[in-house]
Chains A and B, each alone.
Chain A
Amino acid sequence: QLQLHEPGPGLVKPSETLSLTCSVSGGSISSRSYYWGWIRQPPGKGLEWIGTIYYSGSTYYNPSLQSRVTISVDTSKNEISLKLNSVTAADTAVYYCARMLGSSVNLRFDPWGQGTLVTVSS
C-alpha cells in the first residue's frame, strides 16, 4: 500500500526558506504513470495547489507561487522535496504531498500524506 509521509520543521522564521521532504513507501516514485504534487491549506481556508513534479524532474508550478517555489525529486531515495523561499505569515499552512493520477481531464489525488503544519513566525 502506497504511503506518503512529509515531516516538517514546524516553525520557520519570516524571510527564511521553508523546506519539506515527502517520503514515498510501498511503491516507486519513478513510475511513469504518476505525477506527484504539493498542496497546502492555510488555517480555516481552502486548499491551494503549489506545484507538481514528474519522476523525470519536469515541474509545473502555481503561477502565484512560481517565483518562490522549487520542487525536486530524488528517485534514489524515493522522495520529493519542496522549497519555498522568502516566507511570510501568509505561508502558514498545513502542507500535503499527494500522488496525482490520470490526466488533466480526469485528475485525482490518491493517496495523500498526513500533512504537516508549518507556522511562519519569529
Chain B
Amino acid sequence: QSVLTQPPSASGTPGQRVTISCSGSTSNIGSNTVSWYQQLPGTAPKLLIYNNNQRPSGVPDRFSGSKSGTSASLAISGLQSEDETDYFCAAWDGSLNGPVFGGGTKLTVL
C-alpha cells in the first residue's frame, strides 16, 4: 500500500480537462513539494511537474499541478489520445526520511 493515495483510474474524452489527485499527510505533502511523473509502458518515467506546479522545459503547458494542504493534483487540459498512460506522484517524507510515491493512476482517453 502506497504512502501517497491516488485513484487507480481516471478517464476523459479528447479535448476534455481531467484531474488526478494525490493525497498524503503532514509529514510528506503537507511540508514538502510534490512532483508528478508520466510512465508509458516499458519506458522510463518522465518528470512532468516539480515544485508542485513547475514544468520542465519540453513539457506542454496542457499539464499543470497544484497543491493545497496535504493534497496535490495534476490537471491535463485538451486531453489527447497520447496522454493515455500511467501517472504517479512523489514527495519527500520527513518520517521516513526519504521519498514516497503514489500508487499510480491509469488514465484512459475514451
Contact = CB atoms under 8 A, between A and B. Distances in A.
A96 B92 CA distance: 18
Interface string A29-71: 0000000010100000111110110000000101100000000
A95 to B, nearest CB: 12
A107 B96 contact: no
Interface residues of B, number: 30
B100 A113 contact: no
A114 B41 CA distance: 10
Contact of B99 (A49, A63, A112): A49
Interface string B62-102: 00000000000000000000000000101110101111111
Interface residues of A, number: 30
Contacts of A110: 47, 50, 56
A96 B43 CA distance: 11
Interface of A: 4, 37, 39, 45-49, 51-52, 60, 62-63, 96, 98, 100-102, 104-115
B51 interface: yes
29 contacts: A4-B44, A45-B103, A46-B2, A46-B102, A46-B103, A47-B90, A47-B101, A47-B104, A49-B100, A60-B98, A63-B96, A98-B45, A102-B33, A104-B32, A104-B92, A104-B94, A105-B32, A105-B92, A106-B50, A107-B32, A107-B35, A107-B91, A108-B90, A110-B50, A110-B56, A111-B47, A112-B37, A114-B42, A114-B44
Nearest to A60: B98
Given A96-B45, A112-B44, A106 B32 contact: yes
Given A46-B102, A60-B98, A63-B96, A105 B33 contact: yes
